[in-house]
Amino acid sequence: MPSQPHGAAFGAVGDVSPDAVAASLGRNDGGFGRAQETYFDHPVLHKAHWGWEIVGYFFAGGMAAASAALATLADAAGDPRDGALVRNGRYTALAGAAVSGVLLIADLGRPERFIAMMRIFKLKSPMSVGVYAFSAFSATAGLAALEQARADGTIARNPLGWIPKGPRVAVHALSAALMATYTGVLVAATAIPVWYRGRRHLPAIFALSAASTGCALQNGLLALGAGSPATSRKLEVIETVAAAAEGLLLLDYERTAGVPGKALFGGARGRRLKRMTLGLGLAVPALLALPGLFGRHPKRGRRLRGLVTAACALSGGYVLRESVVHAGRDSADDPRAYLQHPV
């Protein structure tokens, strides 16, 4: 060892008790030892600025996509009793697309900023893919709503009725599928540990959540109006299967996410996610639907059951989106998740 040029200066620290020295070495409060793991625990990554607008967009967009898909399915593969679902589905899809557009623009700040995304198409960017999926979805949802308005007699003639039905429905269905799933790809394909750990789960979870909330919303609307119990039963079957798959995927996501997954599944956020999404959003509607799956629903209370199911499933779906977006912020702020747990 060479002579100790700084020895005297640091030696003065020797007045401090050994315990205090050990504690200060353990803490990153200045005077790191060689075992330093992070830089004062400062974040390595920047977090997305997304707030409630984007949470709402993820939620409303997914629900609108599922409503559109249900209306399309009921129209193509259903029977005449499903007419109310086709109507409600088409109108709510358009309303959901409109709400989504307003939320997106609220996030960007100015309407013309949305147009800036249309100057190129870039398959590599899930944001670009999503913008085109959303645009195609909104346009075709408008066409479907026009068609419905003509069928209902609200308007005498559909000015865009010359657009062939086949391609219109195909684009509508494909863009709805993308709308329900691309948001999962959007968050998974980032450098945020809790999000990329869920790359195999999040897109599917978002799609299943869109399906379960969409079914619940349509069921609630049918319960309010004069929907056929047969249609409600179909929706309940889809909702229950989707909810079961969603719950299993969430649990598998928690299992495989490891330490970075704590941002979503640990602490108060994790407890709230389990209570609100797994419990209220998935388990309660499934339990309420269970007797009906075996054809044993009491005739009375159908309206109340539909509304309660819708309220529970929608709250669960919203909490899921909110938890995922907020967990991304905490994960970006946690340097250890990124530095110490490579993919």
Partner 1 sequence: MRLLYEGLTSVTCVSRRRRGYKYPPVRSDTGFFTDVTLCIGCKACEVACKQWNQLPADGYTFSAESYDNTGRLSATTWRHVAFVEQADRIEPAASRWMMMSDVCKHCTYAGCMEACPTGAIVRNEFGDVYVQPDVCNGCGYCVPSCPFGVVAVEPKEGVAQKCTLCYDRQKDGMEPACAKACPTDAITFGPVDELRANAQRRVEKLLAEGREASLYGIDGEETRETGPLNAFFLLPDRPEVFNLPPHPVLPSRFQPAAYSSALVAATALAVLGVAVFRGLREGA
Interface positions, 215-234, toward partner 1 (CB under 8 A): 230, 233-234
Q: Interface with partner 1 includes 52 (CB under 8 A)?
A: no
Region near partner 1 per CB under 8 A, out of 92-100, 140-148, 156-164, 237-245: 237-245
Q: Which of 56, 82, 145, 322 binds partner 1 (CB under 8 A)?
A: 82
| Closest CA relative to residue 251, chosen from 275, 274, 228, 220 | 274
Q: Interface with partner 1 includes 166 (CB under 8 A)?
A: no
| Closest CA relative to residue 148, chosen from 213, 71, 231 | 71
- The residue (of 118 and 155) whose beta carbon lies closer to partner 1 is 118
Q: Shortest Cβ distance from residue 96 to partner 1 (Å)? A: 17
Q: Which residues make Cβ contacts (< 8 Å) with residue 256, sequence separation at least 6? A: 197, 200, 201
Alpha-carbon span 294 to 245, nearest angstrom: 20
Region near partner 1 per CB under 8 A, out of 138-146, 179-187, 268-276, 298-306: 179-187
Q: Which of 60, 63, 64, 69 binds partner 1 (CB under 8 A)?
A: 69
Is residue 222 a contact partner of residue 92, using CB atoms and an 8 Å limit? Answer: no
Region near partner 1 per CB under 8 A, out of 40-48, 144-152, 219-227, 273-281: 40-48
- 341 — phi, psi (to 5°)? -125, 75
Q: Shortest Cβ distance from residue 138 to partner 1 (Å)? A: 17
Q: Which residues make Cβ contacts (< 8 Å) with residue 84, sequence separation at least 6? A: 222, 225, 226, 227, 228, 231
Structure-token match 């060689």, residue found? 34
Instruction: Report the site for partner 1 in 85-144 (rule: CB under 8 A).
Output: 107-109, 113-114, 116-117, 119-128, 131
- The residue (of 34 and 157) whose beta carbon lies closer to partner 1 is 34
Structure-token match 């990554």, residue found? 45
- The residue (of 89 and 146) whose beta carbon lies closer to partner 1 is 89
Alpha-carbon span 91 to 85, nearest angstrom: 10
Is residue 97 a contact partner of residue 137, using CB atoms and an 8 Å limit? Answer: yes
Q: Interface with partner 1 includes 149 (CB under 8 A)?
A: no
- The residue (of 123 and 156) whose beta carbon lies closer to partner 1 is 123
Instruction: Report the site for partner 1 in 181-220 (rule: CB under 8 A).
Output: 181-182, 184-186, 188-192, 195-196, 199-204, 207-208, 211
Site size for partner 1 (CB under 8 A): 103
Q: Shortest Cβ distance from residue 161 to partner 1 (Å)? A: 25
Site string (260-289) toward partner 1, x via CB under 8 A: ------------------------------
- The residue (of 141 and 146) whose beta carbon lies closer to partner 1 is 141
Alpha-carbon span 200 to 108, nearest angstrom: 29
Q: Shortest Cβ distance from residue 304 to partner 1 (Å)? A: 23
- Buried b or exposed e, range 220-254, using 16+ CB within 10 angstroms: bbbbeeebbeebbebbbebbbbbbebbbebbeebb
Is residue 56 a contact partner of residue 102, using CB atoms and an 8 Å limit? Answer: no
Q: Interface with partner 1 includes 343 (CB under 8 A)?
A: yes
Structure-token match 């619940």, residue found? 216
Q: Interface with partner 1 includes 255 (CB under 8 A)?
A: no
Alpha-carbon span 14 to 128, nearest angstrom: 60
Region near partner 1 per CB under 8 A, out of 33-41, 149-157, 281-289, 306-314: 33-41
Alpha-carbon span 58 to 183, nearest angstrom: 7
